[in-house]
Structure 1
Amino acid sequence: MEKVAEILAEASAEAVEPRFRALADGEVMEKAPGEVVTVADREAEVIISRRLRELLPVPVVGEEAVSADPALARALLDEPAAWLVDPVDGTANFAGGRPDYAVMASLVRSGRTVASWIWQPVTGTAYAAELGSGAWRNGQPLRRPPVTDPSEKWRGFLKSRFLDPAEHRRLRSAATVLGPTATGLGSAGIEYPLVAVGDLEFILYWRTLPWDHSPGSLLVTEAGGVSAHLDGSPYRPTPPGGPDGLLVAADPAVWEQVHAVLTSR
């Protein structure tokens, strides 16, 4: 666990952090409509992928590698084990000089996330989780504090960017019976820990790319929370194009109540 945390922090220090608020012309590119990539993403992924393979020689499913060759993501289903890497989660924030970005990795075995790591460079905060063993923040055990506020005071994010406008409006309207909601911070590696530490009660994500959600989902569940699709099935990392709609919550009771509100018609 400690070795992977070191790999992420060292790759970040080498390829990512020196470019924060210092990207040169031509170092930010559009890889898809509305989605950017930087040289920092690509260089960090190469470094992390190489070192993870040295640690455990299994396929690496990296966000930028899959962007170039989508078939690589099949390793999550076809191989007994695979690494998942998001070299800069929140690239738009990073490219815009905003501090909400993270470096993430996870290990998937037989279709389940068994270990995960999140490094937040700006604050120097490291999160890790291991299936069945718990979650940690900067090496200290992390357990989600109990939810004591009434539901009308719950705090949450509705990540509905990829929904059609009518469904987006319906969700926003339904959520008014809950507490204050926002559209998020643009980085799963920043958002998931907010549920794990007690700063948020829930997050609804729509698109579920595996490198975005595998690390944080394990962190939240090992801290006592829930990460499940809207049909109630627990989150599993799958190649892009898998089931949409993922509700992350502080505990099972919060998940059930938020789910009932958001799916009401």
Structure 2
Amino acid sequence: MEKVAEILAEASAEAVEPRFRALASGEVMEKAPGEVVTVADREAERIIARRLRELLPVPVVGEEAVSADPSLARALHSEPAVWLVDPVDGTSNFVAGRPEFAVMASLVRSGRTVAAWIWQPVTGTAYSAELGSGAWRDGRRLVRAPGPASPAEWRGSVKSRFLDPAEHHRLSTNARAFGTVTPGLRSAGMEYPLIAGGEQEFILYWRTLPWDHAPGSLLVTECGGVSARLDGSPYRPEAPGCEDGLLVAGDQATWDRTREILLGLTA
């Protein structure tokens, strides 16, 4: 567990942090409409992938590698174990000079996330989780305190970027029942720790790329929270395009009530 945390921090120090608010002309490219990638993403992923394979020689499914060759994501279903890597989670924030970005990795065995790591370079905060063993922030076990009892006091995020207009309107209207609802931080590596740390009660995601959600989902569930599809099935890392819709909450009761309110299932 400690070795992977070191790999992420060292790759960040070498390839990511020196370029924060210092990206040169030509170091930012568009990889898809509305999505950017930087030389920091690509260089950090190469470093992390090489060192993870030295630690455990299984396939590495990295965000940038899959962008270049989508077939690499099949390893999630065809291989008994894979590494997942997101070298700069929150690239748009990184490019804009905003501090909400993270470096993440996770280990998936037989379709289930068994270990996860999140490094937040700007604050120097490290999160990790191991299936069945717990979650940690900077080496200290995370224990989530209970949140407020009333949904009118809950804090949450609804990520609506990939929703169609009708669904966006429905969810936005229903979300008025909560105390505070934001559009999120545009970085899963910054958002999931808010649930684990008790600073927020829920997050609704739509698009669920595996490198974005495997680390944080394990972090939350190892703190007693819930990360599940809208039908209630537990989150499992899926290749891009396989499944969408994911609700994350601090506990099962909060998850159930949030789902009822957002989907309009209350009487």
**TM-score, normalising length: structure 2:** 0.98
Aligned length: 265
Runs of 5+ unmatched residues, structure 2: none
Residue 81 of structure 1 corresponds to 81
Residue 173 of structure 1 corresponds to 173
Matched, 1:2 2:2: yes
2:61 counterpart SS class: strand
2:148 counterpart SS class: coil
* Alpha-carbon contact 2:148-2:154 (below 8 Å) kept: no
In 2: Cα distance, 1:29 partner to 1:149 partner: 46
How far 1:149 moved relative to its partner? Answer: 3.9
Residue 135 of structure 2 corresponds to 135
Runs of 5+ unmatched residues, structure 1: none
**1:239-258 correspondence runs (5 A):** 239-258=239-258
**1:113-128 correspondence runs (5 A):** 113-128=113-128
Matched, 1:97 2:97: yes
How far 1:182 moved relative to its partner? Answer: 0.6
How far 1:61 moved relative to its partner? Answer: 0.1
1:242 counterpart SS class: coil
How far 1:98 moved relative to its partner? Answer: 0.3
Question: CA RMSD, aligned part only?
Answer: 0.7
In 2: Cα distance, 1:145 partner to 1:251 partner: 10
How far 1:243 moved relative to its partner? Answer: 1.3
* Alpha-carbon contact 1:208-1:242 (below 8 Å) kept: no
Residue 50 of structure 1 corresponds to 50
In 2: Cα distance, 1:19 partner to 1:210 partner: 26
How far 1:148 moved relative to its partner? Answer: 3.0
How far 1:242 moved relative to its partner? Answer: 1.6
In 2: Cα distance, 1:151 partner to 1:96 partner: 34
How far 1:263 moved relative to its partner? Answer: 1.3
2:207 counterpart SS class: coil
1:128 counterpart SS class: strand
Residue 13 of structure 2 corresponds to 13
* Alpha-carbon contact 2:106-2:117 (below 8 Å) kept: yes
In 1: Cα distance, 2:188 partner to 2:81 partner: 23
Residue 26 of structure 1 corresponds to 26
Deviation string for 1:95-120 (max 9, x for gaps)?
Answer: 11000000000000000000000000
Letter in 2 for 1:264: G
In 2: Cα distance, 1:145 partner to 1:71 partner: 41
In 2: Cα distance, 1:49 partner to 1:65 partner: 10
**1:197-208 correspondence runs (5 A):** 197-208=197-208
Letter in 2 for 1:79: E
1:3 counterpart SS class: helix
2:233 counterpart SS class: coil
How far 1:83 moved relative to its partner? Answer: 0.0
How far 1:200 moved relative to its partner? Answer: 0.4
How far 1:24 moved relative to its partner? Answer: 0.2
1:57 counterpart SS class: coil
Percent identical pairs in the alignment equals: 76
How far 1:144 moved relative to its partner? Answer: 1.1
In 2: Cα distance, 1:243 partner to 1:58 partner: 24
2:220 counterpart SS class: helix
In 1: Cα distance, 2:143 partner to 2:255 partner: 17
In 2: Cα distance, 1:151 partner to 1:90 partner: 29
In 2: Cα distance, 1:112 partner to 1:148 partner: 31
* Alpha-carbon contact 2:226-2:255 (below 8 Å) kept: yes
